[in-house]
A and B are shown apart, each in its own frame.
Chain A
């Protein structure tokens, strides 16, 4: 399991030898990409931004303090700010309300295996997500795409862990009720 390698040692090593940052890159690439992809329509754009996020992290790594903010929270603070900056710069072009075509990203074979009903349910869930406000979608992206815990999300978005946990619980409860309806 990737998480089994001592992250603190990887960070220390990368702080001394930038070449060793590749291990951290490999470890966090799927989570960062999924997070960015959940916020951007274009695969190309998401890949570019993912690269930029890791470059920023590499540049800032010497200032990162072990035993301070968890590395995942630190990295996704950078990612969160990068996505926010992009949206600010391109507000007139990209709307917060546009969700990536997540259902299309599922491999065709998986779709077939999952069956038509399952696919329909995923599409319905996608529609429900599209109705959420940007802050709510950000919360879900940080929890499900980035894989952060509520306390880590709290560090990224600047709220208390209790508030984040409460928001997530309420949000899921609401989604569950809507999702259950035929």
Chain B
């Protein structure tokens, strides 16, 4: 599988005229000219052996490519010192500049009304005309991975009423339909990076289930059978929406709900591990030691509470969910499970009952932790009673968690909140900035709620959209850059972008390249 992608894949954006051999020949020769230089030996071997700071390596580094050592040794020390002095000067200048900008921003911010304000400014981009006989694109949801690259799903369309997978590499202005040909993706799609997706797909002709994987933004897909009869791994239950997580594009874990051999008629949770990008899976344990009644009663992705799994590195990870049944057996703390041996064994980890309110495990949903370094991470507990959420922060890689303040919610008496999700789950772009969308189920409705201090304080505001739009999704990739999907009447969903942290939203008049099989 490890080979350089073909010219047609690497330069697909330049080779739209697919039948033009002259263009292909030109691109091939340009590629040859620009990449033909052999690397000087001194660059390929930047350090002497034994100079790496092995003591500083984390557990994750065991799985990284072999590292020759530090960079510093191949750079003259004098030059390095000068460079660091220059960096220091640059940092001081930047601090002064940012301070001035923040002061200006604070003045502007304090005058900004919370109610809907100005109408959106100039569109981010204009739509390209659609080819004849193509219908407009209806984006149902997006998953942006950076300021430019991201994925989307369409509303069901076409004769098969199929959802299509989309990809953008310019921040949402242009989308390509990248669904694998001749296969239908089911709801198990794991967006690993801006270019890599792992998904479960059903072959349209045979109905067989496959792992579908792309590492080049959906231009090419690889398929691996999941049916043991076709040489695939034995993964019963994988079609029923497993909980999947990837630490790197190669290393991942998967939890499925499988019949419990020891207790006929009941189900248990089995954990699998992959080191080849989800092509083959090795069973780690079929006896994840959650409370027996929990494992027996939870049907993943069905009527029960979905579990989520997240790993900090190759050894340490967490499984979170809710504990509707077993409060009495686990004291009064909110609950999550932690492993320190890559998923072989799991132990409950209790969190302090802080945030100024009494949270209990039976009334709480734990959302998966998000890490921003090997030490710093955030974790959210969402509670039915009292209704609200509490963010926990760690600065020691999840060994201990400190709670912040409690963010209370009020429900809209007209609408029942989700019985499996007391509050929206906040998402964070870094250890400080996070956001959630307070929809119509809550009071006041339709508010963008943000924090700039890791969940200690929250502020609400209405996005400044034209009248009549109902927001369906908000996503940020940094404290300033974000997107918003909104519906108006029966028209296709509209996409808006902010570059100033949600103060102003500009429409993206997106266009798309129809799928070519």
Contact = CB atoms under 8 A, between A and B. Distances in A.
Task: Answer yes or no: are A and B bound together in one complex.
Answer: yes
B193 A6 contact: yes
Contacts of B372: 12, 66
Given A34-B37, A47-B42, A70-B194, A59 B22 contact: no
A27 B65 CA distance: 9
Contacts of A26: 65, 67-68
A133 interface: no
Contacts, number: 221
B195 A16 contact: no
B58 A67 contact: no
B373 A30 contact: no
B39 A19 contact: no
A158 interface: no
B192 interface: yes
Taking chain A's interface residues, is the majority helix, strand, or loop, or is none over half, making it mixed?
helix
B37 A105 contact: yes
B207 to A, nearest CB: 30
Contacts of B39: 29-30, 33
Contact of A67 (B173, B373, B429): B429
A17 B53 contact: yes
Interface residues of A, number: 82
Nearest to A125: B29
B454 interface: no
Interface string B97-138: 000000000000000000000000000010000000000000
A140 interface: yes
A34 B34 contact: yes
Nearest to A164: B170
B149 to A, nearest CB: 7
- Main secondary structure on chain B at its contact with chain A? loop
Interface in A135-182: 140-141, 143-145, 147, 149-152, 154-155, 161-162, 165, 168-169, 172, 175-176, 179-180
A33 B40 CA distance: 9
B87 A6 contact: no
A179 B26 contact: yes
Nearest to B13: A150
Given A102-B33, A145-B35, A4 B42 contact: no
A45 B29 CA distance: 25
A86 interface: no
A5 B84 contact: no
Given A4-B215, A13-B60, A51-B74, A59 B87 contact: yes
Interface in B34-72: 34-40, 42-44, 46-47, 52-53, 56-58, 60-61, 64-65, 67-72
A9 B248 contact: yes
B68 to A, nearest CB: 6
B34 A55 contact: no
Contacts of A162: 125, 170, 173
A17 B56 contact: yes
B69 A125 contact: no
A94 interface: no
Given A22-B67, A65-B430, A168-B14, A6 B43 contact: no
A38 to B, nearest CB: 6
Given A1-B2, A19-B57, A144 B79 contact: no
Using C-beta atoms within 8 Å of the partner chain, give the interface range for chain B.
35 or more
A41 B71 CA distance: 25
Contacts of A29: 39, 43-44
Nearest to A111: B36
A133 B53 CA distance: 45
Given A16-B374, A125-B29, A172-B23, A4 B125 contact: no
B289 to A, nearest CB: 28
Nearest to B10: A147
A19 B70 contact: yes
Nearest to B33: A102
Contact of B43 (A20, A51, A59, A67): A51
A141 B43 contact: no
Contacts of A65: 430, 478
A149 B125 CA distance: 18
Interface string B1-29: 11100000010011000001011011101
A59 B70 contact: no
A115 interface: no
25 contacts: A3-B215, A9-B64, A16-B373, A25-B71, A30-B39, A34-B34, A37-B37, A47-B43, A50-B43, A52-B79, A55-B71, A58-B71, A67-B146, A68-B146, A68-B478, A70-B147, A106-B36, A107-B36, A107-B38, A126-B33, A162-B173, A169-B14, A172-B27, A176-B23, A179-B26
Interface of B: 1-3, 10, 13-14, 20, 22-23, 25-27, 29-40, 42-44, 46-47, 52-53, 56-58, 60-61, 64-65, 67-72, 74-75, 79-80, 83-84, 86-87, 91, 94, 125, 145-149, 169-171, 173, 192-196, 215, 246-250, 277, 372-375, 429-430, 477-478, 481
Given A59-B84, A172-B23, 5 more contacts: A1-B2, A19-B67, A143-B14, A162-B170, A180-B22
Q: Return the 5 tightest CB-CB contacts between A and B, nearest first.
A: A6-B248, A144-B34, A145-B34, A19-B53, A161-B170
